[in-house]
């Protein structure tokens, strides 16, 4: 949890959210428990692989905007992280990566079959937790978000190896794939806590903006050579033919467009070729451009939460926005 | 729809349910429409592949138990068939079959990736339709059923090539995989129509019983040599190492147990070997045994609906039960 807060600036909210966070981690294992052996193992494996837990943090934080306790927010917090985990498992069926967060993927350990049903199990589990609130809007919104996520994932597959994608198409795709879920965490966390309509709407907007910045930053990380020294694999998107913002920009503005295109369109690329594309994208300002766009989203997000009267709480939302921009993993 | 009714016995319910059924088919395409090209194609492909539409028929029929119109029942009817379709698409990722209902599977046409997200899309779409009722019980029950179905599918994978499975394990698995969804169609169809608690409970039981019989009959069809003359592929379960009721019985009672076991445990089986197993299973009474169990479930189902006062309506439920037992596809 501390990762979301600016160093040295201890918010009065820090301690209580930290406590809620610890409770959540404990409850998570219980939540995903099933008497089905392989499912149970796969779910526990996923849990232990960690993750930032950004989504549940946003739901728990939403409780501060209304009058609700962490106990009330908890099922939604767990459900949202579970939806996220479901998409990770299904993504792995599509991606060829054998590792996620440095650990073997469910697919690598148990195969496509287990991945398909583990992912669906997680989604159904999340829907069941959400149904426990007996709130129509909550059910409707979560089902909608799951639908959008599927469309975003399929769009990404369809647009593989298409370098001349428009920025709008890219934005629509990452909105579906990533931003809507983060937006729903912010919005619904405020909504179930009984926050005002204005606050709920503002949080929905805040969430969408940080969600966009989150995915753009994620895509930028794949282009940062200095990440290699951290032992991280970079250039994965280039290898798989996924055009993200830095590359889309470079395809339009680089004097080396033809060279970039000729490497990018290959199904198999050498390590040197991938590095060359990264160098060319960086040289023409593609990474800087993507960073600018991410910064704009973050600025919009911060503006959206001006409506929050509690200065300290507003500050927490600002710090999370800053964290998203500056994170290096 | 006429397939569910006994020939020659025209129920006064026949015409109205038939009309509702036609409306449903028309609405189905609209329901699954999305501006996502591949998703839309995959969903339409599935729709055109047909199917018995047993699940929505049961939901629509449930409307007759309360005071609700077909318009009210329709979203649930469509949602339940959509859940069923989601599992078919995900099953295809697991199965190696290239055809389903004589048409190429989504997997065969578009690959694993599209199958995973099409299946999840369908599930999310169903949950969204169900959420439109703004009824907590409905959301909860459907999510639970989806969870059980995932467990059943994974169990089937885990127990592959295990011939000495107990009948109880088999029953639990088919309950999860098949019977719970059919049960939910019967129960929830009655529930949303405003039927009494007793009727709703009876329908849940009826649905579970016909669901069990449905799967057992399905498993028996895979052992019926006379189906081969219809151009159907039989012995698929034997080839994939799935032990169903006829085989589980034979493994316990056949004098040729060792021979059955030695063929069944092979990963690759010749056509002659598969036929030999079918012959041995049939010879020791395995098929007859499974038929008996299916018949018992059907008898229980019929008993459960004795509570329905309208004789003609009760008769429709009886005819559907009979259809399940006697169907040959």
User: pLDDT of B108-126, one tens digit each?
Assistant: 777 778 888 899 999 999 9
pLDDT exceeds cutoff 70 at B96: no
Mean of pLDDT values over A283-311: 97
Q: Contact at 8 Å (CB) between B269 and B238?
A: yes
pLDDT exceeds cutoff 80 at B317: yes
Place of tokens 């969430």: A207
Residues linked to residue B104 through DSSP beta bridges, in sequence order: B99
Touching check for B151 and chain A: CB below 8 Å?
yes
Q: Point out the least confidently predicted range of A284-288, A297-301, B164-168, B216-220.
A: B164-168
Please tell me the predicted confidence (pLDDT) of residue B238.
93
Judged by CB atoms closer than 8 Å, whether chains meet at A139 and B153 is answered as no
Judged by CB atoms closer than 8 Å, whether chains meet at B127 and A146 is answered as yes
**CA pair distance A113, B174, nearest whole angstrom:** 18
User: pLDDT of B13-55, one tens digit each?
Assistant: 878 888 888 898 888 888 888 877 888 888 888 888 778 899 9
Judged by CB atoms closer than 8 Å, whether chains meet at A112 and B134 is answered as no
Of A94, A112, A154, the CB nearest to B39: A154
Mean of pLDDT values over B314-325: 93
Judged by CB atoms closer than 8 Å, whether chains meet at B158 and A37 is answered as yes
Please tell me the predicted confidence (pLDDT) of residue B228.
60
Judged by CB atoms closer than 8 Å, whether chains meet at A120 and B150 is answered as yes
Please tell me the predicted confidence (pLDDT) of residue B251.
94
Q: Point out the least confidently predicted range of A103-107, A128-132, A150-154, B241-245.
A: A103-107
Secondary structure class of A120 (helix, strand, coil)? helix
Q: CA-nearest residue of chain A to B118?
A: A150
Instruction: Read off the pLDDT band of B139 (50, 70, 90).
Output: very high
Q: Interior CA angle at A161 toward A156 and A165, to 5°?
A: 70
**CA pair distance B53, A51, nearest whole angstrom:** 42
> Looking only at Cα atoms, what is the longest distance across chain A?
59
Structure tokens at B140: 């909860």
- Kindly report the nearest CA distance between residue B291 and chain A, in angstroms: 29
Of B123, B125, B131, the CB nearest to A120: B123
Q: Contact at 8 Å (CB) between A110 and A143?
A: no
Q: Could you give the ipTM of this predicted complex?
A: 0.86
Closest of B109, B120, B111, B94 to residue B34, by C-alpha = B120
How far out from the chain centre does Cα A85 lie?
10
Residues linked to residue A104 through DSSP beta bridges, in sequence order: A99
Of A93, A114, A121, the CB nearest to B147: A121
Please tell me the predicted confidence (pLDDT) of residue A114.
83
Number of H helices, E strands in chain A: 15, 2
Q: Contact at 8 Å (CB) between A173 and A187?
A: no
- Kindly report the nearest CA distance between residue B191 and chain A, in angstroms: 17
pLDDT exceeds cutoff 70 at A2: no
Touching check for B83 and chain A: CB below 8 Å?
no
Judged by CB atoms closer than 8 Å, whether chains meet at B127 and A125 is answered as no
Q: CA-nearest residue of chain B to A122?
A: B147
Touching check for A153 and chain B: CB below 8 Å?
yes
Whole-model pTM? 0.90
Instruction: Read off the pLDDT band of B231 (50, 70, 90).
Output: low
**CA pair distance B42, B32, nearest whole angstrom:** 10
Please tell me the predicted confidence (pLDDT) of residue A227.
62
Secondary structure class of A100 (helix, strand, coil)? strand
Helices (H), chain B: 12-31, 37-48, 54-62, 70-94, 106-131, 136-158, 167-174, 180-192, 197-221, 236-240, 245-253, 257-264, 271-283, 286-304, 311-326
Percentage above 90 pLDDT, chain A: 61
Of B121, B131, B132, the CB nearest to A150: B121
Q: Point out the least confidently predicted range of A164-168, B217-221, B305-309.
A: A164-168
Percentage above 90 pLDDT, chain B: 61
Q: CA-nearest residue of chain B to A89?
A: B116
Of A113, A125, A131, the CB nearest to B157: A113
Structure tokens at B134: 């703004």
Q: CA-nearest residue of chain A to B114?
A: A154
Which of A32, A127, A148, A160 to substitute to test the interface with B, most B CBs within 10 Å? A127
User: pLDDT of A203-261, one tens digit each?
Assistant: 999 999 999 999 999 999 999 877 665 556 789 899 989 999 999 999 999 999 999 99
User: pLDDT of A12-25, one tens digit each?
Assistant: 787 888 888 889 88
Which residues of chain B from 5 to 44 reach within 8 Å of chain A, CB to CB?
34, 36-39
User: pLDDT of B288-300, one tens digit each?
Assistant: 999 999 999 999 9
Mean of pLDDT values over B275-294: 96
Judged by CB atoms closer than 8 Å, whether chains meet at A116 and B121 is answered as no
Instruction: Read off the pLDDT band of A127 (50, 70, 90).
Output: very high
Of B36, B127, B158, the CB nearest to A151: B36
Using a CB-CB distance cutoff of 8 angstroms, which residues of chain A are in contact with residue B39? Answer: 150-151, 154
**CA pair distance A243, A264, nearest whole angstrom:** 9
**Helix B245-253 and helix B286-304, axial crossing angle in degrees, nearest 10:** 130
DSSP state of A103: E
**Helix A37-48 and helix A12-31, axial crossing angle in degrees, nearest 10:** 160
User: pLDDT of A132-191, one tens digit each?
Assistant: 999 989 999 999 999 999 989 888 888 888 888 889 999 999 999 999 999 999 999 999
Of A39, A120, A151, the CB nearest to B34: A151
Q: Interior CA angle at B192 toward B186 and B195, to 5°?
A: 75
Mean of pLDDT values over B172-190: 97
The residue ranking higher by pLDDT, A108 or B1, is A108
Q: Point out the least confidently predicted range of A175-179, B1-5, B190-194, B321-325.
A: B1-5
Instruction: Read off the pLDDT band of A36 (50, 70, 90).
Output: confident
- A-B contacts (CB, under 8 Å): 133
Which of B88, B113, B129, B162 to substitute to test the interface with A, most A CBs within 10 Å? B113
User: pLDDT of A108-124, one tens digit each?
Assistant: 777 778 888 899 999 99
Judged by CB atoms closer than 8 Å, whether chains meet at B119 and A123 is answered as no
Secondary structure class of B231 (helix, strand, coil)? coil
Closest of B121, B96, B146, B117 to residue A92, by C-alpha = B117
Which of A147, A149, A159 to substitute to test the interface with B, most B CBs within 10 Å? A147
pLDDT exceeds cutoff 60 at B8: no
**CA pair distance A86, A121, nearest whole angstrom:** 8
Q: Residue B258: CB partners within 8 Å, gap ≥ 6?
A: none
Please tell me the predicted confidence (pLDDT) of residue A229.
54
Work out the mean pLDDT of chain B and round it to a whole number.
89
User: pLDDT of B146-165, one tens digit each?
Assistant: 999 998 988 888 888 888 88
Q: In this structure, what are the phi and psi dihedrals at residue A99, rounded to the nearest 5 degrees?
A: -120, 145
DSSP state of B241: T
Of A37, A132, A140, the CB nearest to B131: A140
**CA pair distance B281, A56, nearest whole angstrom:** 53
Closest of B296, B118, B87 to residue B210, by C-alpha = B296
């Amino acid at each position: 949890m501390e990762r979301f807060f600016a160093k040295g600036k201890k918010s009065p909210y820090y301690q209580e959210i930290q406590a809620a966070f610890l409770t959540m981690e404990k409850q998570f294992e219980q939540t995903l428990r099933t008497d089905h052996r392989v499912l149970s193992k796969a779910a526990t494996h996923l849990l232990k692989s960690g993750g930032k837990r950004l989504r549940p943090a946003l739901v728990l934080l939403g409780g501060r905007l209304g009058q609700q306790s962490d106990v009330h927010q908890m099922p939604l917090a767990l459900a949202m992280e579970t939806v996220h985990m479901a998409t990770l498992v299904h993504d792995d069926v599509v991606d060829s990566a054998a590792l996620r967060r440095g650990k073997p993927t469910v697919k690598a350990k148990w195969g496509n079959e287990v991945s398909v049903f583990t992912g669906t199990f997680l989604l159904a589990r999340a829907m069941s937790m959400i149904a426990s609130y007996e709130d129509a809007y909550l059910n409707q919104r979560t089902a909608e978000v799951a639908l959008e996520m599927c469309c975003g994932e399929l769009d990404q597959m369809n647009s593989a190896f298409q370098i001349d994608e428009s920025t709008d198409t890219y934005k629509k795709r990452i909105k579906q794939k990533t931003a809507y879920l983060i937006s729903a965490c912010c919005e619904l966390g405020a909504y179930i806590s009984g926050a005002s309509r204005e606050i709920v709407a503002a949080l929905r907007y805040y969430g969408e903006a940080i969600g966009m910045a989150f995915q753009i930053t994620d895509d930028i990380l794949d282009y940062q050579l200095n990440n290699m020294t951290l032992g991280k694999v970079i250039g994965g998107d280039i290898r798989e033919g996924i055009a993200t913002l830095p590359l889309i920009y470079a395809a339009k503005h680089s004097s080396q467009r033809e060279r970039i295109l000729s490497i990018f369109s290959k199904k198999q690329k050498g390590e040197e070729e991938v590095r060359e594309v990264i160098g060319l994208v960086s040289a023409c300002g593609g990474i800087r451009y993507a960073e600018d766009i991410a910064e704009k989203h973050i600025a919009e997000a911060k503006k959206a939460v001006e409506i929050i009267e509690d200065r300290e709480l507003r500050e927490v939302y600002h710090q999370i926005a800053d964290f998203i921009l500056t994170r290096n993993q």
